[in-house]
C-alpha cells in the first residue's frame, strides 16, 4: 500500500466528472487500499478518487473508526430532511464552511467484490456521503456553502 498525494483546490482534476468503473481489476483494488491508507494518514472521514488524481467513480467514507465504506459507482437513491452544518475538505485545508445537506441519505454502490449494497446515514455520515459523491461530479463543498467561515469563526467552533 502507498500514501497517495491529495490534490488541492485549483487542480483541474477536482472539477472533472469521473467515469464509472466498468470492471474491478487488481488496479482498482490497489487504488482502494491506497486510498484507505491515505485517508487514515490524513485523518479524514472521506476521500474520493479525484482527490488523489484518479477520475473514477470511487469514494471511501469512514466517520466511525473501523467502519469503512468502499463505494464504487455510488448513487444517492433516497434523501430526507435538511441540516446546516460545518464542513471541510482534505483538498481545501484550513477552510471551513456551512453547507445545507440532507439530514439522511441512502446510497447504493458496489463493493470491492462487485456486489451491490446500500448504506444509509444521518448527520455527519449523510454529510460525508454527499460530500464525497459531489467530488465524483467535480463539485466542491464550497460550491454549496451557505457561508464560508472566517478564521475567528473557525477558532470559535474549535473551542466548543
Active-site annotation, residues: 132
User: What is the rounded end-to-end Cα distance, in angstroms, of the chain?
Assistant: 37
Q: How far is the C-alpha of 109 from the C-alpha of 112, rounded, in Å?
A: 10
Helix then strand then coil, in percent of the chain rounded to 5, is 30, 30, 40
CB atoms within 10 A of CB 22: 9
Distance CA 47, CA 147 (A): 23
CA 33 to chain centre: 16
Q: Could you tell me how far CA 83 lies from the centroid of its own chain?
A: 17
Amino acid at each position: 500500500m502507498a500514501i497517495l498525494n491529495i490534490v488541492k483546490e485549483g487542480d483541474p482534476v477536482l472539477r472533472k466528472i469521473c467515469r464509472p468503473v466498468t470492471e474491478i481489476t487488481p488496479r482498482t483494488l490497489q487504488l482502494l487500499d491506497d486510498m484507505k491508507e491515505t485517508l487514515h494518514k490524513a485523518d479524514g472521514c472521506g476521500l474520493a478518487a479525484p482527490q488523489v488524481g484518479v477520475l473514477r467513480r470511487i469514494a471511501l467514507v469512514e466517520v466511525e473508526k473501523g467502519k469503512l465504506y468502499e463505494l464504487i459507482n455510488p448513487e444517492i437513491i433516497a434523501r430526507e430532511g435538511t441540516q446546516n452544518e460545518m464542513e471541510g475538505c482534505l483538498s481545501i485545508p484550513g477552510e471551513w464552511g456551512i453547507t445545507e445537506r440532507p439530514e439522511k441519505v441512502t446510497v447504493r454502490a458496489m463493493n470491492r467484490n462487485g456486489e451491490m449494497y446500500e448504506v444509509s446515514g444521518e448527520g455527519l455520515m449523510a454529510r460525508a456521503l454527499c460530500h464525497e459523491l459531489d467530488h465524483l461530479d467535480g463539485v466542491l463543498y464550497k460550491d454549496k456553502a451557505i457561508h464560508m467561515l472566517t478564521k475567528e469563526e473557525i477558532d470559535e467552533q474549535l473551542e466548543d
